Amino acid sequence: MIITCGEALFDVFADGAAGEADPFAISARGVVGGSPLNVALGLSRMGSKSGIFTRVSTDALGQKLSAFLDENGVSRQFCVTTDKHYTTFVLIQTKPDGQPDYAIYCNGTADCSMEMADIPETLSDDVKVIHLGSFATVLPGTGDVHRAFAKREAAQRFITYDPNVRTMVEPDLDRWREINDDLVPIANFVKASDEDLHILYPDRPIEHFAEDVISKGADICIVTCGPDGALIMSKDGQVHQVSGVTVDVKDTVGAGDTFQAACLHFLEKHDAFSSEKLAQLDLLEMGNFATHAAALTCTRRGADLPTGAEIEAFMASSQAS
């Protein structure tokens, strides 16, 4: 099993004017989301066993969220229910270039109010991976919980980390850099987007970031570059530039989470959660699979992550054209 840690929320998409009678109103559509939840969802849809470690409210949205996890085969074994907090939601408006504009409402909400007592006392041997990232990792209290959990398990599990910077939640970039410096040394696999790195380290080439991550002990570092593909570096000396995939973009919500889930699914499929197995793996093949998976998500509205069969079919059609 692969456990993701962090926010589980509702993405509320603003679709523009609700009608000519009230040009200042908006219509909206809410769907289950949150970066760690999306990764768990993608893993399940691709055929990997996944679960999420978070708090889930018993309010109306929380009940829908729990039902969604059950429907999509994501384990709630590590979910902590609470009737004292509401569910986080994110208002998303799509900019003309397809990039999302986020407003996050998470003050005192369930997934952002975790406590040390929420950490599971033990994990079974079938838990192979712990993934964390996004804004939950930098929150006071909740972030401490997720990082303590990952550090406790780092000697026994494969740890993956994606900073997934959200400055509207935490505008202090030094805080993001501090958390990055705290988590990279325990991570086996680090993925970051070039957009995040340009925010955190504007004068630093992405290659230097990847080299630094590898020097601190990670087996793999990947920097995703949107339509330009991704850069992959590994401890065993592999360096690959993965080509991008051209698609008709509806929006990019969930693309990075899809890439992350696809990489983890690929590693699990090849039983490669160790340095020895990773050294034998063709990481370019993994990157190509993940890039196609992320591109496929971009053809859909919202974080509608694809199944394994859909990714394989999309890859086959791309190669044929």
20-72 pLDDT tens trace: 567 777 788 889 999 999 999 999 999 999 999 999 999 999 999 999 999 99
**What pTM value is reported for the model?**
0.94
What radius of gyration, in Å, describes the C-alpha atoms of the chain?
19
Q: Is the predicted pLDDT of residue 19 greater than 60, yes or no?
A: no
pLDDT at 161: 98
Per-residue pLDDT reduced to its tens digit, 91-107:
988 777 767 788 899 99
Q: How confident is the model at residue 18 (pLDDT cuts 50, 70, 90)?
A: low
For residue 4, the cross-strand partners are 52, 131
pLDDT at 93: 82
91: buried, middle or exposed (CB in 10 Å: 19+, 13-18, 0-12)?
Answer: middle
Rounded to 10 degrees, the C-alpha dihedral 167/265/290/218 comes to: 60
Report the C-alpha gap between 239 and 235 in whole angstroms: 10
- What is the percentage of the chain residues whose pLDDT exceeds 70? 97
Q: Is the predicted pLDDT of residue 17 greater than 70, yes or no?
A: no
- What is the percentage of the chain residues whose pLDDT exceeds 90? 84
Q: How confident is the model at residue 129 (pLDDT cuts 50, 70, 90)?
A: very high
For residue 52, the cross-strand partners are 4
Structure tokens at 223: 């920097």
Structure tokens at 84: 């004292």
CB 312 within 8 A of CB 290: no
Q: Name every residue whose Cβ is closer than 8 Å to that of residue 56 and which is 6 or more positions away in sequence.
A: 8, 62, 65, 66, 76, 79, 80, 81, 82, 87, 110, 111
Q: Is the predicted pLDDT of residue 135 greater than 80, yes or no?
A: yes
Structure tokens at 5: 């840690």
Helix (H) or strand (E) holding 208, with range, is helix 206-215
If you write DSSP's letter for every residue of 64-99 in order, what string do you get? HHHHHHHHTTEE-TTEEEESSSPPPEEEEEE-TTS-
Report the C-alpha gap between 321 and 316 in whole angstroms: 9
Report the C-alpha gap between 204 and 209 in whole angstroms: 7
Per-residue pLDDT reduced to its tens digit, 181-228:
999 999 999 999 999 999 999 999 999 999 999 999 999 999 999 999
Q: How confident is the model at residue 262 (pLDDT cuts 50, 70, 90)?
A: very high
